[in-house]
Amino acid sequence: MANSQAICTSFKQEILCGIHAIGTTVVRAGTTKDTIKAALYLASASLGAGTTAYSGTGEVSGANYSAGGATVTNANEPATAAGIAYWTPSASVSWSNVTLGTAFDAVLFYNSTQSDKAIAVFTFGSQTVTSGNFSLTMPTNDETTGLIRLN
């Protein structure tokens, strides 16, 4: 099976339940944001809308890549414009000097603060890296190109 790009269905329900705090919050008696992480997955994995949580199954492995992926820089607050709610990490997600020799083509964004609950899967062209850097460049944080957009 192949990976497919989607906002995870479980995330849609969980945001209505107030589980995820991508921005600052006072609802859960704290003002800190949850920790969002990004993990890379093999082209042979099966992530998509039905993914509910981070799992090491199908995740890449190799030199200088840690299981669980990288912590996402989250300085942007969720916002709205033109009836659309949106959020984008405030910096690219990067891995330095990695060797990932098996083809990978997807990243899972997940909330490590909330039991590794899945947020979204994004796919890209199949990649391999040998002793190099790999970066996922984030789009502009707005209602037309934001990484997560709900309308």
pLDDT at 23: 76
pLDDT at 5: 93
| Nearest-angstrom CA–CA distance, 108 and 67 | 12
Task: Provide the whole-model pTM.
Answer: 0.88
Tell me the pLDDT tens digit for each residue of 73-86: 998 888 889 988 88
How many angstroms separate the most distant Cα atoms in the chain? Answer: 45
Closest CA to 71 of 24, 111, 128, 122: 111
| Nearest-angstrom CA–CA distance, 128 and 96 | 13
* Range of weakest confidence among 26-40, 42-56, 57-71, 117-131: 26-40
CA dihedral of 141, 144, 145, 147, whole degrees rounded to 10: 70
pLDDT at 8: 87
| Nearest-angstrom CA–CA distance, 29 and 21 | 11
The confidence band for 40, taking pLDDT boundaries of 50, 70 and 90, is very high
The token duo for 130 is: 């040998």
Q: Are 5 and 119 in contact (CB under 8 A)?
A: no
Per-residue pLDDT averaged across 123-148, rounded? 96
Three-state DSSP at 12 gives helix
Q: Is the pLDDT of residue 26 over 90?
A: no
